[in-house]
Structure 1
Amino acid sequence: MSDSFGANLKLLCSHYRSIAEVCRKLSINRAQFNRYLAGQSRPTTHNLKRICDFFGVEDYELVLPQEQFSRLIGARDNSMASTSAGAPLLELFESLSEHSNDLSRYCGYYFEYSNCMSVPGQILLSLVHLREERGSFVFERQERQERARGGGAEDWVRCRYLGAAFYLQDRVFLIDYESLTGNEISQTILIPSFKSRITRLNGMKTGVSSGDQRTPACTRVVWEFLGTDINRVNSYRQVMLYAPDDPRIDDDVRQRLAGARIRNGLFEIE
């Protein structure tokens, strides 16, 4: 087994709150698991299958080079860009936060469906994590699009957006930037759900396409609530472009992405 096994296993564990939680769910002794992480020993065939089944990966993927494996399953990085206290930008958002209502009930993981801005006619499925952090609500949105049809990790272009969320006057406003390149800012406005159980939220998103012209664009979006504790690796594997008639996209999502109406001269989402 390659030297990258331990590093790849650490990356998988970073999608969970702690190593202890992973060991508890796997029913593997913590000391033994630490030896796997450190590369001091390798799992038995039985334990390797349990690890692969739990994280939703194949055994051969766990021994891929670290950079390739990272691109395959989506690198985990909870760090938000730090800003020194008293900076003008921070003060602006701090003032805005004072007017924002509580978003706690909306925290969790979502699939975001949108009409792809850079590949017209395709549906882009992204993974979003909305959470509370030190009294503010922040989120991370993961996207990836296939560059070629080879199917390997190198054939995917990955985007990672970091942003802030605000609940103002019965609308959820989300502002984010593409953190890997720093060349894009987008804004999403969602219509919140007032039902006791959150399922899907409708909204609009503005940004630019990733093509050479960087064309400004606007698309309808649908957020589908997944829960507060998910298998991030399995969910990330579904992040990609889909044809509109792909059976993995249900009719309700298609109708929400296509449906709109005009009321009192204003464009509204149905």
Structure 2
Amino acid sequence: MSEHFATNLKLACSHYRSISEVCRQLSMNRAQFNKYLSGQSHPTSYNLKRIGDFFGVEDYELGLPPEQFARLIGARTTAEAQRSQSDPFAELFQPLHEHCGNLSRYCGYYFEYANSMSVPGMILLSLVHVREERGRYLFERQERQERSSSANVQSEDWIRCRYLGAAFQLQDRLFMVDYESLTVNEISQTILIPSFKSRITRLNGLKIGVSSGDRRTPACTRVVWEFLGVEINRINAYRQVKLYHLDDPRIDDDVRERLSVGPISNGLLEIE
């Protein structure tokens, strides 16, 4: 690794427009990355895996003899390019990836509070996880609501939804686009106002989607994202994911106010 790593890293970076682009997509410090390129230092095991994942190679392959590594990455880069060129979706969204800002400070878990699109007058609390993967920012949103109002709700009485999506920071807004992965019957978009404070607490925004009822009415609601941390007790957090009445004491006044202020009546706008 010590003998060939820097040479192979330079070759891998040559497939990108600049070192700055690589560092930005990896969310790595440029000065430290330059030390890797010059051979002055070597990455930790964690950073080595990140670099390998980003370039689509195994950790040990970064230490192969340069000639062997060149053939390896050349073949994989060609295959990647061919797949990208044959996929119109990849071509369509490539400019978004190139202009997307660094969302590393937003990675972690959130509670999302929203006016329910399916049960008007209720607040839906969801669990969101934003993460970085190979220079891209992805997120998962878990929702559930009980079919019955009975206090003894069994597991089969819950409706569960799992949304998977991508996050982009374009100029001064965060754009979150996702789809419901269990039924694949809905795409939603959330736009958040980023935090300009040193510590993220709550983010305000709007979400557009459809209700889960028979009419599948398009609707728009205010949302509040509450930052929970990078590592949390997911079981305890997921137990709180459900519908709440507007006057439920577990929903604080600040959240209620953020969901109700402004021109959207009752926090929810239905589009007929």
TM-score calculated relative to the size of structure 1: 0.65
Q: Distance in 2 between matches of 1:180 and 1:236?
A: 18
Matched with 1:227 is: 229
Matched with 1:168 is: 170
Identify the match of residue 185 of structure 2 among 160, 183, 186: 183
Deviation track 1:156-211 (CA, whole Å, cap 9, x = no partner) reads: 00000000000012000000000000000000000000000000000000000000
Q: Does 1:198 align with 2:200?
A: yes
Matched with 1:132 is: 132
Q: Distance in 1 between matches of 2:241 and 2:92?
A: 33
Matched with 1:251 is: 253
Matched with 1:88 is: 88
Report the CA distance between 1:92 and its aligned residue. Answer: 1.9
Matched with 2:216 is: 214
Q: Distance in 2 between matches of 1:109 and 1:152?
A: 26
Matched with 1:97 is: 97
Q: 1:232 and 1:189, CA in 2 relative to 1: closer, same or farther beyond 3 A?
A: same
| Alignment-mate amino acid for residue 104 of structure 2 | S
| Alignment-mate amino acid for residue 160 of structure 2 | R
| Alignment-mate amino acid for residue 140 of structure 1 | E
Give the match's secondary structure for 2:121. Answer: coil
Give the match's secondary structure for 1:254. Answer: helix
Matched with 1:142 is: 142
Report the CA distance between 1:261 and its aligned residue. Answer: 5.6
Structure 1 unpaired stretches of 5+: 1-83, 263-270
- Structure-to-structure mapping, 1:32-71, within 5 angstroms: none
Q: Distance in 2 between matches of 1:216 and 1:249?
A: 25
Q: Distance in 1 between matches of 2:212 and 2:263?
A: 28
Matched with 1:27 is: none
Matched with 2:35 is: none
Higher radius of gyration, 1 or 2: 2
Matched with 2:5 is: none
Matched with 1:108 is: 108
Deviation track 1:62-117 (CA, whole Å, cap 9, x = no partner) reads: xxxxxxxxxxxxxxxxxxxxxx5441112222221111110000000000000000
Matched with 1:15 is: none
Q: Distance in 2 between matches of 1:224 and 1:244?
A: 17
TM-score calculated relative to the size of structure 2: 0.64
Report the CA distance between 1:145 and its aligned residue. Answer: 0.7
| Alignment-mate amino acid for residue 147 of structure 1 | R
Two-structure CA RMSD over aligned residues (Å): 1.2
Matched with 1:240 is: 242
| Alignment-mate amino acid for residue 115 of structure 1 | N
Q: Distance in 2 between matches of 1:143 and 1:196?
A: 29
Report the CA distance between 1:151 and its aligned residue. Answer: 1.0
Give the match's secondary structure for 1:98. Answer: helix
| Alignment-mate amino acid for residue 235 of structure 1 | A
Matched with 2:28 is: none
Q: Distance in 2 between matches of 1:260 and 1:197?
A: 26
Of all paired residues, the percent bearing the same amino acid is 74
Q: Distance in 1 between matches of 2:115 and 2:161?
A: 16
Matched with 1:38 is: none
Give the match's secondary structure for 1:157. Answer: strand
Deviation track 1:33-79 (CA, whole Å, cap 9, x = no partner) reads: xxxxxxxxxxxxxxxxxxxxxxxxxxxxxxxxxxxxxxxxxxxxxxx
